[in-house]
A and B are shown apart, each in its own frame.
Chain A
Amino acid sequence: MTAALVERQRIVILGGGTAGWMTAAALSKYLPAARFSIQVIESTQIGTVGVGEATIPHIRQFNQWIGLDETEFIRAVGATYKLAIRFSGWGEAEADYYHPFGLSGEDLNGLPFHQYWLWLRQHQQSDLKAFGDYSLAVLMAQNNRFRYPSADPREACSAFNYAFHMDATLYAQLLRRHCLARGVQWLDARVAAVHQHASGDIRALQLEDGRQLAGDLFIDCTGFAGVLIEQTLRAGYDNWQHWLPCDRALAVPSQPDPTPPVYTHALATAAGWQWRIPLQHRTGNGLVYASAYLDDAQASELLLAGLQEQALDEPRPLRFVTGRRRQSWLKNCVAIGLSSGFLEPLESTSLYLIQVAIQQLLACFPGDTVSEVERDHFNRSMELEYQRVRDFLILHYKLNHRPELFWRHCATMPIPDSLAQRLVMYRETGHLLEYRQGLFQPASWLAVMLGQGCYPERLDARLDNQRPDAVAEWLTGYQQQLQSLTHQMPLHSQALQSNQHPGSQPPAVQSLYGYRSRP
């Protein structure tokens, strides 16, 4: 249908942020140099967004996929382990809960654990602990412990997974070295104009110094600018700010924490939230806020006042519009990374969305011509991923009883039907449906819903003829077992020191929750 491609397919990746280098690393791993040339163009003058430090477990799979050793990765990017996100002040000013990379409890008599927990709560069992206390990953996070999960689904330690906090700039540099060794060409230049074929396909990039760079397939990794997908091809953008109203951020590094926590911290503030991401060599901090409710000066003051360590720099401002490019693949151009959309960093999902886009691109990689079939398939898959992550993010804002104007607005704002239906079903029965495709499964939804005080009105009908004391006894024994397991584990900082042996890690799996098949 569109551009005829020549013998050695020329792939041009515009942008050298995390998205650009992740894409180059994966493509250069799978596309043989004899048949494909891969070029990355970035402008150090423009720079990168420079954030994106908290990840989810899928990053391990990506690194494994491109042949990056985990020990080398940890050393190169100053990484620490991550088992959860701790949410403070969400829902209520006093609330404090974790969204773990792991499951809470075990199914009992064929019913999900949370149904029993909620039922005991209704029966006001005095020794019932917080929902998260039945999750190994949460106990590890609370006690700052770390060990690798077990890949054997019969073991209690198989019910969690882990990710990393990392320095995004160092990660891009590591990937760049990796790519250059694989023959990827790299150019530091600014694109000044874009030339198109009569069909609308992109033909070549005009650099500021006058050179022209022709290509067959263009990957737009130019961040928020969307130089190719939007400035050139006008793909259009679905603005989701009415559901996710934060539109600005300030980022600032501070001194490292000698005992780094094994979680990302997200502290709700009057008009947004503040992150704290511990790295080995520094701490990443930032404030995400809605400019309609907080001005930049107030935001900067709030951020700096909330730091636990001394700041190492001035806060750096960032602006964004939450939403998604209507078509991430248009003509012979595929947008990956911030150029394809942005969902705020509350659940550390951006790098995951980059990874999914790369996997889809490889699965749908075009031949001599780009056809509607692969474009359509790619766009459909990405749309679903974005929508499902979006709904989960909105949930955090919607469920709240905080008094501030911003939070009152969030509590009363309309939400997408897909989310509204899920919420009502949960209230009706306490049940949640699993997605076949999509990142966050019931374990995650429950962590947030229960953490933010959202309880169902009714529960599963089967619970009615159970004996609460017998169930409560089982829960107590189970929880004690998890606690004793946790206390046998090394501290996070010790684990960072001792886990230095290449290849000693469990295999990476594409699940947030570890090595059990049921999410």
Chain B
Amino acid sequence: MNMQIVILGQGLWLQVAAALVASQLRPWGVRCTAVEVPGEPEPGSVASGPELHGLCRLLGQSWQELLLKARGSFNLGTDYRDALTHQAAGAAGPARWFVPFGHLGLKSEAAEFAQGLFSYLAGQAEQGPEPYCLAALAAWQGKFAVPPANRTDLRDMLDFGLHLDRQGLCAWLRRFSERQGVRFVAADALFSAQTAQGPIASVQLAGGESLPVDFCLDCRPRTGVKSGAVMLQLFAGDPQQGPGKPCTSAERVPWGWLVRHPLANGCVWQTEFDPQVQKRDQVQAWLDGNLGALDWQLRSRQTSSPDEVWTGNCLQLGPVVETLDSPLLGAMGPLQALLVSWLDMLPNQASCPATARLFNGYWQQYREELNTYLTLHETPLETHTGRLFARLGRVPTAETDAVRPVQLMTMLYGLGLRPELPSRLLLDNEPAQVGAALAQIRRRLDTLVTNMPSHAQTLARCLDGRPAHPSY
């Protein structure tokens, strides 16, 4: 195959796209050129969920290597704290909950476990599902051990991603791509030449070089004046703090959420605010007052994205991924999902309008599912998902992998929604039996956590290149 793929962009998105495409298509003879446009260096961090293992599989690399090179830490989910809303509602103490990637209980296939647990909790003084969630227990106690390959049960319960240093990740991906034969060219300016039928025939670099194109992946964020709704983001590294817990933390602050990614050496704070509603000075003052003096940097994110990612022979990845790059989500997952989906339907002609339309439909669904997840952080009952959960303790079947059902359910529960109706599929079970079964599960989970090393110990082993999992 003599296909030529040109990837435009900078920083992380360019590197992810180049590495993924090269790993999948170089063995088939496809030529990849990555055109690096000028841009600021990208400090900060990236939080990924378990989809990272999919990325590593596609690259044929181990996550241990990635962890080592990008000085990362483990990520079992998000530890949420919301003292503000909780206090406003008159409840005592800060509300805290955990949104895991792994499932609740001991078995992933246990039908109706979550519904049974929510019904049981309705009759208990103790409120949260966390004691029945291994990921939450481990994260809250600052513990973690990598599940051995033959323990699929533990792998499901402790499904994890990584927090990574953004620049370390970029450098690692770039080295990988170079080994795969990707050609990197730096270009100050470029423009694309279209054929008479519409597709891009070549990319012209400022120096005069012309790159022929069969397919173009444009990973540049939207250029020009940012119109419509824009969110401003502040982020800062804090080298004083150790990796601590194996999870992302998110705390409600007056303008939104303050998110913390632990790394092997320190952590990164990030937050986002709407400049129409909040003054930067006020946000900065709050951050300085609460976190001490840190070197805060600013970037922006446009929130409304185009409906079409794939037009002609070009994927406009940058502008769409940008819109999902909120501190609560991160853009790695969406970018990876779009690239994998495109690779799955790889065409061998420049124009495939129907394929592009279906791909764009997939993207719109993905975006909708992520946006629903973001919306329900603030106004859960305005979403169909929130209302369904509040009534039946269920969430709608997703059409994409954007958000896991367990994330939706634990988030909604954490936000204070309680299912009105018990599951009718469990009415046959006596409450005493349910209580006894849950107590047993809780004991099993407690034992598992008690025997786990601390996150710091596991991380140190991994960073030293030693086997990551001790015996359970």
A binding-site residues for B, Cβ under 8 Å: 30-32, 35, 110, 362-367, 371, 373-374, 376-377, 380-381, 421-422, 424-425, 427-429, 431, 433, 435-437, 458-465
Contacts and interface: CB of A to CB of B under 8 A. Distances in A.
B464 interface: no
Contacts of A381: 397
A371 B391 contact: yes
Given A30-B427, A461-B347, A464-B28, 7 more contacts: A366-B421, A428-B347, A429-B355, A431-B355, A459-B348, A462-B1, A465-B28
Contact of A32 (B28, B391, B428): B428
Interface residues of B, number: 40
A381 B392 CA distance: 15
30 contacts: A31-B427, A32-B428, A362-B424, A362-B425, A363-B394, A364-B392, A373-B388, A373-B390, A374-B391, A374-B392, A377-B384, A380-B396, A381-B397, A425-B357, A428-B347, A428-B352, A428-B354, A428-B355, A429-B345, A429-B352, A429-B355, A431-B344, A431-B345, A431-B355, A433-B358, A460-B347, A461-B28, A461-B30, A461-B347, A462-B25
A80 to B, nearest CB: 30
A373 B390 CA distance: 9
Interface of B is mostly: loop
A366 B355 CA distance: 41
B181 to A, nearest CB: 15
B348 A421 contact: no
The A interface, classified by DSSP as helix, strand, loop or mixed, is helix
B206 interface: no
A25 to B, nearest CB: 14
Contacts of B391: 371, 373-374
Contacts of B397: 381, 436-437
B348 A460 contact: yes
Nearest to B362: A433
Contacts of B110: none
B254 to A, nearest CB: 32
A458 B2 CA distance: 16
A35 B427 contact: yes
B425 A363 contact: yes
A30 B399 contact: no
A30 B30 CA distance: 56
Q: Which 8 A-B pairs have the closest CB atoms?
A: A424-B354, A461-B348, A464-B1, A365-B424, A428-B352, A373-B391, A462-B28, A425-B354
Contacts of A35: 427
Contacts of B388: 373, 377
Nearest to A436: B399
A282 B447 CA distance: 60
Given A425-B355, A429-B355, A458-B349, A436 B427 contact: no
Which of the listed residues B355, B362, B384 has the most CB atoms from chain A within 10 Å of its own CB? B355
A264 to B, nearest CB: 29
Contacts of B398: 436
Nearest to A417: B357
A376 B398 CA distance: 16
Contacts of A374: 391-392
Nearest to A460: B346
A363 B362 CA distance: 27
A458 B347 contact: yes
B1 A465 contact: yes
Contact of B358 (A32, A425, A459, A464): A425
A366 to B, nearest CB: 8
